[in-house]
Amino acid sequence: MSHTVQDTIRAATRELTAAGIDSATIDARRLVAHALAIAPDRLSLVAGDAIMPAALGILDAAIAARVDRQPVSQIIGRRMFWGRDFKVTPAVLDPRPETEVLIGAALAQPYSRLLDLGTGSGCILLTLLAENPGASGTGTDINEDALKIAGENRAALQLEGRAELSPSDWFQNVTGRYDLIVSNPPYIALGEMATLAPEVLKWEPMAALTPGESGLEAYEIIAANVVNFLNPGGRVLLEVGPTQAPAVAALFRARGLENDVIHSDMDGRDRAVEIRLPQRVDASKPR
């Protein structure tokens, strides 16, 4: 007996619910749409159609991966961010809605040269370049596999001429100066890793999640070096954990960079710290 698309969605939802997936209904629709190679918003148009064996085979593998807690974005190979599709794999962090707070803050003021530290999928760098056609920039990452994914996203968005991708351990291979430096660095303290959802802990790159014991190690590196790469009056924008903003701002103040603003998400949680370099840096302040 053939099964319709609607029957298949219901069966997939039941299977994911039984596996303890909280987002079972949404995930089932996305995975069925993936198996059919259509957009999820078109499922209602084919709800009564019979689903073909080839699509069922793709769906069965996708459901098994989701039961194993692989994120849907990795299973289907893409994630929407700021209105654009980005390729994702287990080599990169899944672009998150929280990071769009950083994008909004960055776009609020002009920039022409941009540096993205730990670019991962390239979602921050490439979004900021796509939204600002006059800008160019560089994305760095220590992970060569991540840079390959960023390169594919760069090509898909036709930004090869404006986006450079470079292997680098933070500022190690960076040259020149920039109007805007951005980063979503690893910031989860080592002791908090066990509290993460299986989708994160099992499937996302460890080095992109935690920098070490305190969770502040990456911010310390950025604070110690950033004045050497920012133009006068330039900005730094860093995503932070919801309790970290005061500590991150304090790291920059200790380096003489006191002009900071904290940006919150729609729920009022701190999500990004912005620091502006003065037009002239006081050389007597510690760096």
How much is the pLDDT for 281?
52
Q: 99-149, pLDDT tens digit by residue?
A: 999 999 999 999 999 999 999 999 999 999 999 999 999 999 999 999 999
Give the pLDDT band of residue 2 (cuts 50, 70, 90).
low
Task: Starting at the earlier edge strand, list the strands of the sheet with 260-264.
Answer: 163-167, 136-141, 113-117, 178-183, 230-239, 270-276, 260-264
Q: Is pLDDT at 94 greater than 90 in this prediction?
A: yes
Across 216-242, average pLDDT: 96
Residue 47 to residues 21, 29, 36, 95, Cα–Cα distance (Å): 23, 11, 11, 30
How much is the pLDDT for 280?
65
**Number of other residues whose CB lies within 10 A of the CB of residue 239:** 22
- Look up residue 195 and give its two tokens: 């509290």
Q: What pTM, to 2 d.p., does this model score?
A: 0.92
- Main-chain phi, psi angles of 241, to 5 degrees: -70, 155
Counting residues of the chain whose pLDDT is more than 70, the rounded percentage is: 97
DSSP β-bridge partners for residue 205: none
Q: Is pLDDT at 62 greater than 60 in this prediction?
A: yes
CATH number for the domain running over 79-276: 3.40.50.150
- SS3 labels along the chain: CCCEHHHHHHHHHHHHHHCCCCCHHHHHHHHHHHHHCCCHHHHHHHCCCECCHHHHHHHHHHHHHHHCCCCHHHHHCEEEECCEEEECCCCCCCCCHHHHHHHHHHHCCCCCEEEEECCCCCHHHHHHHHHCCCCEEEEEECCHHHHHHHHHHHHHCCCCCCEEEEECCCCCCCCCCEEEEEECCCCCEHHHHHHCCHHHHCCCCHHHCCCECCCCHHHHHHHHHHHHCEEEEEEEEEECCCCCHHHHHHHHHCCCCCCEEEEECCCCCEEEEEEECCCCCCCCCCC
Q: 74-89, pLDDT tens digit by residue?
A: 999 999 999 999 999 9
Q: Is pLDDT at 283 greater than 60 in this prediction?
A: no
Q: Is pLDDT at 284 greater than 70 in this prediction?
A: no
Across 27-52, average pLDDT: 96
Q: Is pLDDT at 203 greater than 90 in this prediction?
A: yes
| Structural contact between residues 73 and 79, judged by C-beta atoms closer than 8 angstroms | yes
Q: CA 123, CA 87: separation in Å to the nearest integer?
A: 9
**Identity at 266, one-letter amino acid code:** M
Q: CA 237, CA 179: separation in Å to the nearest integer?
A: 11
How much is the pLDDT for 119?
98
162 Cβ neighbours under 8 A, 6+ residues apart: 129, 135, 136, 137
**Mean pLDDT for the chain?**
94
DSSP β-bridge partners for residue 262: 273
- Main-chain phi, psi angles of 136, to 5 degrees: -135, 165
Give the pLDDT band of residue 286 (cuts 50, 70, 90).
very low
| Structural contact between residues 114 and 140, judged by C-beta atoms closer than 8 angstroms | no
